[in-house]
Amino acid sequence: MAKKLKNEKALLAEALRIILDDAVQRGVVELEPTDSHDLKIEFAYRLLIHDKAIAPLPADKISLPNMRHRLAMWVTHKLPPDHDLLK
């Protein structure tokens, strides 16, 4: 796996917030309170691939830790350079 990002957990949370809020607004998904965190991660990862916002991981590298890292990396490019999570 790639080097862990500083604030990776917080970056992942921000990525999920952005992606899932957008998906709900677009009518792509209805989230249930019982949906697991892992399910949300996988959904967000697959949605970004579908939207061609990220390249898919190689088939032998698909795992929750790698999906988490890919989402955290994605959000680093969406936040303003002076955002607290990037410091």
Q: In the chain, what are the domain boundaries? A: 8-25+37-81
**Above 80 in pLDDT, residue 73?**
yes
Q: What is the mean pLDDT of residues 42-55?
A: 97
CATH numeric code, 8-25+37-81: 1.20.120.1930
- Would the pLDDT of 1 be above 60? no
84 half-sphere exposure, CB direction, 13 A CA radius: 2
Return the amino acid letter for 39: L
Strand, helix or coil for residue 32: coil
27: pLDDT strictly greater than 70? yes
pTM for the structure as a whole: 0.92
Which residue in 42, 50, 47 sits closest to 22, CA to CA?
47
